[in-house]
């Protein structure tokens, strides 16, 4: 599914590499006075859920230098407080929350419910995760510029090689510029470093904050449609809600070994592609029988 692939692509590059705040509480103030920015400090700030406590929107734009693909993703909260993302990836349009996605590609619309432990929007991280800064400096404008270097395994090399020529002998280099006041990410550059130390710059990303939220026609059509609410009861007691347009069918995804049911006893499973939605519904994510 392209919606998943889009976020996986951006996640593969940005999460790692696997897409932020006037954070002015006391801990952030004390952190900003330190001599060096730590990965822990940067990671705390640069999650979608954290940044959207301080900014109305976070917009990420990426240009791929090899292939010319462009990605635009904007994160925001809707009027119900759900963290959402809209995406435009060279002809692909999408809208996503932690529990739901709508996508349109090549004229086809797809609706998907997510009942998985891993969320795709709230925890989105706008920087390299699970590594340490290999260098750190201050640029002419006072921004903190940090570099990380990551190994490339065969699976990652195979994925990247669909767009960029990569082998396991190469390294993935990310160069991230952080604002000096609150450590929000301002930009991320991506390069492949060859064994001979030469580099191939493959993509650049820029982040903007508090931008006006604009929706593609496909997404606006979904948002304006008459919809019914589907509530998903998770095994841990959490409740997720998704909105599906009247008369549309949806697919669903659960963690391995789980499925969606119409009853809390798990006796009425939902087919992988549902019947057309005609009313509000309550579903249950339970172990497969």
- C-alpha–C-alpha distance, residues 133 and 146, integer Å: 6
Q: Is there a domain that residue 214 lies in?
A: no
Q: Do residues 82 and 118 both lie within one domain? A: yes
What pLDDT, in 10s, does the model give residues 200-256? 999 999 999 999 999 999 999 999 999 999 999 999 999 999 999 999 999 999 999
Split at pLDDT 50, 70, 90, the class of 22 is very low
Asked if 164 and 270 sit in the same domain, the reply is no
Q: Are residues 174 and 103 in the same domain?
A: yes
Which of 154, 178, 209 finishes a domain? Answer: 209
How far apart are alpha carbons 187 and 175 in whole angstroms? 8
Who contacts 114 (Cβ-Cβ below 8 Å, separation ≥6)? 98, 99, 100, 101, 120, 240, 242, 252, 253
- With tokens 């859920």, the residue in question is 49
Domain termination residue (choose one: 209, 243, 277): 209
52 within some domain: yes
Average pLDDT over residues 86-104: 93
Helices (H), 94-228: 154-160, 217-224
198 lies in the same domain as 241: no
Residue-wise pLDDT tens digits, 113-170: 999 988 789 999 998 777 789 999 999 999 999 999 989 999 988 888 877 789 999 9
Report the relative pairing of strands 70-77 and 83-89 from DSSP bridges: antiparallel
Same domain, 199 and 231: no
Same domain membership, residue 234 and residue 204: no
78 and 93 in contact (C-beta within 8 Å)?
A: no
Strands 135-138 and 144-151: antiparallel
pLDDT digits (tens, 9 = 90+) for 33-54: 345 899 999 999 999 999 999 9
12 domain-assigned:
yes
For residue 34, what is the domain's CATH number?
A: 2.50.20
Same domain, 102 and 204: yes
- Is 216 domain-assigned? no
* H and E: helices and strands count for the chain: 6, 16
Instruction: Look at strands 108-115 and 100-105 and give their pairing.
Output: antiparallel
How many structural domains comprise the chain?
2
Q: Is the pLDDT of residue 69 over 90?
A: no
Whether residue 241 sits in one domain with residue 162: no
Q: Based on the domain organization, do 197 and 259 belong to the same domain?
A: no
Are residues 76 and 21 located together in one domain of the fold? yes
100 assigned to some structural domain: yes
User: Are 258 and 115 in the same domain?
Assistant: no
Same domain, 22 and 107: yes
Adjacency order of strands within the sheet including 199-209: 135-138, 144-151, 171-178, 185-193, 199-209, 57-64, 70-77, 83-89, 92-96, 100-105, 108-115, 251-254
Where is the domain boundary, 167, 182, 209? 209
Decide if 171 contacts 147 (C-beta within 8 A): no
Range of the domain at 254: 225-287
pLDDT at 76 over 90: yes
Q: How many CB atoms lie within 10 A of CB 140?
A: 5
Is there a contact between 89 and 96 (Cβ–Cβ < 8 Å)? no
């Amino acid at each position: 599914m392209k919606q998943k692939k889009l976020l996986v692509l951006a996640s593969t590059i940005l999460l790692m590499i696997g897409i932020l705040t006037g954070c002015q509480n006391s801990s952030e103030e004390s952190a900003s006075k330190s001599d060096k920015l730590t990965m822990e400090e940067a990671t705390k700030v640069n999650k979608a859920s954290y940044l959207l406590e301080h900014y109305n929107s976070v917009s990420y734009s990426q240009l791929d230098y090899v292939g010319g693909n462009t990605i635009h993703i904007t994160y925001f909260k809707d009027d119900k407080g759900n963290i959402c993302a809209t995406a435009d990836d060279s002809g692909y349009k999408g809208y996503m929350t932690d529990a739901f996605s709508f996508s349109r590609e090549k004229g086809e619309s797809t609706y998907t419910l997510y009942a998985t432990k891993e969320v795709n929007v709230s925890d989105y991280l706008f920087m390299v995760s699970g590594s340490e800064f290999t260098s750190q400096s201050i640029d002419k404008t006072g921004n903190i510029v940090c570099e990380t270097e990551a190994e490339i395994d065969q699976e990652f090399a195979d994925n990247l090689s669909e767009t960029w020529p990569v082998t396991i002998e190469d390294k993935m280099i990310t160069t991230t510029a952080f604002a000096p006041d609150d450590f929000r990410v301002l930009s991320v550059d991506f390069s492949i470093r060859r064994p001979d130390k030469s580099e191939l710059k493959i993509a650049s990303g820029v982040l903007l904050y508090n931008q006006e939220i604009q929706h593609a026609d496909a997404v606006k059509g979904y948002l304006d449609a008459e919809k019914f609410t589907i509530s998903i009861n998770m095994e841990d007691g959490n409740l997720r809600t998704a909105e599906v347009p009247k008369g549309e069918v949806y697919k669903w995804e659960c963690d391995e070994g789980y499925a969606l049911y119409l009853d809390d006893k798990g006796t009425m499973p939902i087919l992988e592609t549902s019947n057309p939605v005609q009313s509000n519904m309550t579903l249950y994510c339970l172990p497969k029988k």
